[in-house]
């Protein structure tokens, strides 16, 4: 490759090289910068490191700070945190503000030094006192989160405002969040959006996402799905995983943009591959339903399992259904039970009902009618019409609970009121088996329960456990 440089750059390089060779520390520092930038000379990080170290050894504070950064980033030399901290400290003790902030970051992260939020805040404060906006933002964050000091919303606001007014995007983001949450100020979505916009205009990905969400949900501004899409797309392009997920949701549903399921699939996949649990679940559903891609049960199960491992209850339920039915994998009722149990532990009504069926039928687990009744009862109390129907069936047959025709009628009637056609038919068959007094009491109890569970209008298939 032919490297050509302007005559001015070449002259500057020659001057600094000659002066650096004579031991001038400022020339050594500037020569190092030229090698780092490839200005007037081919870029060479190793030579940049050599000259930066020579300048630092002569006590030049900003050279010491740069040298620390080169050790920290492993640029021109091996990455050595202890050396980075050493040089940052030498520069910081001379009052170099950037080095003070960098040393504070070393303490906050525990790199090259023992982790200490107290010491980190002390160094951030020294840099902030010199007017460094990014250090002021870090001090504000420390007061906001209680890092190295007691939490203080007023002090957090004061420092974040100083940094935000200097244009620090992180401070603008945190200040917006404080307005949104009402921390130290009256809650205001409009004020929050104003700060988010300023950070977003500087390319801050998280702020861009929050502006997009504000437009999508009408937070502090009239809803505008097209603008929501535009801001989310900017954040997603910067690999903001939550933005990628939200963008996929807009594309999959046609919010603010023409529905585009193949494009939604791309963004769900990018977020899913970065570990976004909800994106993994949505991607699995796209494969399961053949939306935006050819249906692929095996890949659907793979993504459901990844989301399920992260605790997504719908993914746990769907993985259980696929194992129970042998969709995308050989039928495995033991694994089905395990995932139903995981979803049931989070209170999922459908998982509780299906787990009850597995206990009642002895599928993937030893038959246990009492456990089945317990599952049905929990799901029934959540308004699950099939669980109500199944609970009624257990009372009717006396499985796992004492036989009780009145309780059986009550739960069958409640299920029927919820839209279960099978339950409605059975309810009529059961009426004649109760005395007038029993029927009156059962009807009153059923009506009281049914009022808690609005009719769904659905007509689910009969899934009563075998008597």
Tell me what the mean pLDDT of segment 195-222 comes to: 97
| CA dist., res. 34 & res. 49, Å (int) | 11
Q: pTM for the complete prediction? A: 0.84
Which DSSP symbol is given to 74? T
| CA dist., res. 169 & res. 163, Å (int) | 8
| CA dist., res. 258 & res. 226, Å (int) | 10
What pLDDT band is residue 450 in, cutting at 50, 70 and 90?
confident
Q: Which single residue is written with the structure tokens 């033991």?
A: 334
pLDDT tens column, 302-340: 999 999 999 999 999 999 999 999 999 999 999 999 999
| CA dist., res. 199 & res. 206, Å (int) | 9
Asked if pLDDT for residue 466 goes beyond 60, the answer is no
| CA dist., res. 284 & res. 272, Å (int) | 10
Contact 300, 328 (CB under 8 A): yes
| CA dist., res. 433 & res. 392, Å (int) | 15
Tell me what the mean pLDDT of segment 115-134 comes to: 98
| CA dist., res. 206 & res. 36, Å (int) | 30
**What is the percent of the chain with per-residue pLDDT over 90, rounded to a whole number?**
91
């Amino acid at each position: 490759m032919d490297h050509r440089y302007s005559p001015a750059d070449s002259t500057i390089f020659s001057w600094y090289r000659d002066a650096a060779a004579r031991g001038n520390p400022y020339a050594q520092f500037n020569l190092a910068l030229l090698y780092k930038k490839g200005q007037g000379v081919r870029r060479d990080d190793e030579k940049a490191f050599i000259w930066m170290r020579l300048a630092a050894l002569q006590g030049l504070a900003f050279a010491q700070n740069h040298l620390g950064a080169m050790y920290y980033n492993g640029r021109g030399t091996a990455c050595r945190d202890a050396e980075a901290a050493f040089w940052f400290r030498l520069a910081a003790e001379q009052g170099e503000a950037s080095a003070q902030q960098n040393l504070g970051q070393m303490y906050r992260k525990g790199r090259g030094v023992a982790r200490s939020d107290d010491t980190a805040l002390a160094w951030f404060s020294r840099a902030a006192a010199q007017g460094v906006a990014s250090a002021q933002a870090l001090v504000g964050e420390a007061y906001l989160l209680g890092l190295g000091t007691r939490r203080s919303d007023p002090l957090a606001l004061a420092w974040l405002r100083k940094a935000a007014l200097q244009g620090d995007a992180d401070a603008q983001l945190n200040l917006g969040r404080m307005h949104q949450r009402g921390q130290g100020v009256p809650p205001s979505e409009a004020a929050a959006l104003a700060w988010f916009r300023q950070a977003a205009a500087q390319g801050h990905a998280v702020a861009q996402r929050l502006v997009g969400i504000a437009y999508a949900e009408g937070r502090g501004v009239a809803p505008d799905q097209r603008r929501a899409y535009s801001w989310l797309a900017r954040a997603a392009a910067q690999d903001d995983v939550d933005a990628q997920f939200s963008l996929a949701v807009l594309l999959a549903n046609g919010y603010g943009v023409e529905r585009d399921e193949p494009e939604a699939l791309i963004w769900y996949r990018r977020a899913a591959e970065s570990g976004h649990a909800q994106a993994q679940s949505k991607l699995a559903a796209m494969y399961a339903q053949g939306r935006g891609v050819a249906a692929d049960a095996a890949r659907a199960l793979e993504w459901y399992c990844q989301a399920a491992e992260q605790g997504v209850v719908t993914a746990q339920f769907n993985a259980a259904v696929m194992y129970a039915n042998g969709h995308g994998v050989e039928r495995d009722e033991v694994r089905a039970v395990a995932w139903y149990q995981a979803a049931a532990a989070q209170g999922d009504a459908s998982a509780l009902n299906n787990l009850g069926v597995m206990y009642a039928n002895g599928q993937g687990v030893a038959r246990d009618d009492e456990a089945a009744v317990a599952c049905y009862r929990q799901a029934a109390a959540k308004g699950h019409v099939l669980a109500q129907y199944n609970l009624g069936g257990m009372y009717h047959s006396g499985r796992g609970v004492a036989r009780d025709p009145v309780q059986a009628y009550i739960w069958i009637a409640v299920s029927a009121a919820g839209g279960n056609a099978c339950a409605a038919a059975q309810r009529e068959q059961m009426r004649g088996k109760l005395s007038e007094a029993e029927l009156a009491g059962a009807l009153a109890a059923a009506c009281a329960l049914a009022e808690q569970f609005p009719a769904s209008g659905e007509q689910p298939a009969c899934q009563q456990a075998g008597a």
